[in-house]
């Protein structure tokens, strides 16, 4: 490892108790230590603590009674013992104690029908580092090649660290938690799912390429979401009938994870750049939205019968929409506007923006803004995305 650099994260603690979810190595524990310097930490990656509390969750209550009433308690990797949330619930109700609940998976909470504190704790997500956090260390080429998970970003050998990371994920999150019965099938599925990054989900195609059943693929996609490695971006569907519904798009949360899963960690190829940039911008948008509420919902837009006329991201804020198209080219050309021109008649459309890798800001005769990537990042950092 290289000497760790302290990056100031954008994430702000919730005022009361809260869950903080994020993939391993994203910096949850470090962030919690910096935000709550006097907190009492229960680390469930400590095997002895884990085994004791798994055998008798009630031990947590005894531990809490020995603490000052106003002392914050951090439970790290809380998904390993979901039953502890019953004790957390009781402590919040009885004493008002504040808890910070760190986790790398929501899977166990769901499968165990866990008490999710009945709304007494809010939910936050910590994602990989974004340019506003990296400052002068930001490099788009580095991010697209190896991602920006802190564990990887600060490694001497990012490629080797990413390879080990995927193996750790399979070993600890999948095998150890018994999330799949057919581990070889899941191992075949991972690189296939990585190839679908930025594409509309085709369950039949995924099942065929991974040589597993369609229902199995649907379960595997749920695992990727619940273990926070990927997200499904819905299609914008105003008043569509069920038969017209479009499938969601699959996006991994970090370019490095996509490339590690498909075992392709060399220089970024031309065919990769578009999907990798698109998925990374989605992650950056969501990171800023976590702090600044830039939008209420995000989806992709595609007309029912048109080809090559999609818009990557359609953001809704209140009753207004903002269309955002991402291009990985350094030069602007008119054909890049096809999707943004196709969406022009959408009611209450507040703006249309094309983001590209060039340096000049432009505005077309029909009102489409063309922004360099750096300008978009500056607007996000200043909380000024909307026109």
Residue limits of CATH 3.40.1350.10 in the chain: 293-381
According to the model, what pLDDT value does residue 183 have? 81
| Section 203-214 average pLDDT | 92
Q: How confident is the model over 210-260, as pLDDT tens digits?
A: 999 999 999 899 889 988 899 999 999 776 443 445 789 999 999 999 999
According to the model, what pLDDT value does residue 2 have? 42
Task: For the sheet with 362-363, list strands across it.
Answer: 297-301, 311-317, 320-326, 349-356, 369-372, 362-363
Q: How confident is the model over 12-22, as pLDDT tens digits?
A: 999 999 999 99
Instruction: Kindly indicate the confidence band of residue 167, based on its pLDDT and cuts at 50, 70 and 90.
Output: confident
Instruction: Kindly indicate the confidence band of residue 177, based on its pLDDT and cuts at 50, 70 and 90.
Output: low
The encoded tokens of residue 308 equal: 């090559």
pTM: 0.92
Q: What's the CA gap between 288 and 381, in Å, rounded?
A: 8
Q: What's the CA gap between 162 and 256, in Å, rounded?
A: 7
Instruction: Kindly indicate the confidence band of residue 307, based on its pLDDT and cuts at 50, 70 and 90.
Output: low
* Closest C-alpha to 27, from 82, 85, 104, 88: 104
CATH of domain 293-381: 3.40.1350.10
> How distant is the alpha carbon of residue 199 from its chain centre?
16
Q: How confident is the model over 352-379, as pLDDT tens digits?
A: 999 999 999 999 999 999 999 999 999 9
Residue limits of CATH 3.40.50.300 in the chain: 18-125
**74 pLDDT more than 70:** yes
Architecture category of domain 18-125 in CATH: 3-Layer(aba) Sandwich (3.40)
Q: How confident is the model over 31-61, as pLDDT tens digits?
A: 999 999 999 999 999 999 999 999 999 999 9
* Phi and psi, residue 348, nearest 5°: 60, 40
Instruction: Kindly indicate the confidence band of residue 324, based on its pLDDT and cuts at 50, 70 and 90.
Output: very high
């Amino acid at each position: 490892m290289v000497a760790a650099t302290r990056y100031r994260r954008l994430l702000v603690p919730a005022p009361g108790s809260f869950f903080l979810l994020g993939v391993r190595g994203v910096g949850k524990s470090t962030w919690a230590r910096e935000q709550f310097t006097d907190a009492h930490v229960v680390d469930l990656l400590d095997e002895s603590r884990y085994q004791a509390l798994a055998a008798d969750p009630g031990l947590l209550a005894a531990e809490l009674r020995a603490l000052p009433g106003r002392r914050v308690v951090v439970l790290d990797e809380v998904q390993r013992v979901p039953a502890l949330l019953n004790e957390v619930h009781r402590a919040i109700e009885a004493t008002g104690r504040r808890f910070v609940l760190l986790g790398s998976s929501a899977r166990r909470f769901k499968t165990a029908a866990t008490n999710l504190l009945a709304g007494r704790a809010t939910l936050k997500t910590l994602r990989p580092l974004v340019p506003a956090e990296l400052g002068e260390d930001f490099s788009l080429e580095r991010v697209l090649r190896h991602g920006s998970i802190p564990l990887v970003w600060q490694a001497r050998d990012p490629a080797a660290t990413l390879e080990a990371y995927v193996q750790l994920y399979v070993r600890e999150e999948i095998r150890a938690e018994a999330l799949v019965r057919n581990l070889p099938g899941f191992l075949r599925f991972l690189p296939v799912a990585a190839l679908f990054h930025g594409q509309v989900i085709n369950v039949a195609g995924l099942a065929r390429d991974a040589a597993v059943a369609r229902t199995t693929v649907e379960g595997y996609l749920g695992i990727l979401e619940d273990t926070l490695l990927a997200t499904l971006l819905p299609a914008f569907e105003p008043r569509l009938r069920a038969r017209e519904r479009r499938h969601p798009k699959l996006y991994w949360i970090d370019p490095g994870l996509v490339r590690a899963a498909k075992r392709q960690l060399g220089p970024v190829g031309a065919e990769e750049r578009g999907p990798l940039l698109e998925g990374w911008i989605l992650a950056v948008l969501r990171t800023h939205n976590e702090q600044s509420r830039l939008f209420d919902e995000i989806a992709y837009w595609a007309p029912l019968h048109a080809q090559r006329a999609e818009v990557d991201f359609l953001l809704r804020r209140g009753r207004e929409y903002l269309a955002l198209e991402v291009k990985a080219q350094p030069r602007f050309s008119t054909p890049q506007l096809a999707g943004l021109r196709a969406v022009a008649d959408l009611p209450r459309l507040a703006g249309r923006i094309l983001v590209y890798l060039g340096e000049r800001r432009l505005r077309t005769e029909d009102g489409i803004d063309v922004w360099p990537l750096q300008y978009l990042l500056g607007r996000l950092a200043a909380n000024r995305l909307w026109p």
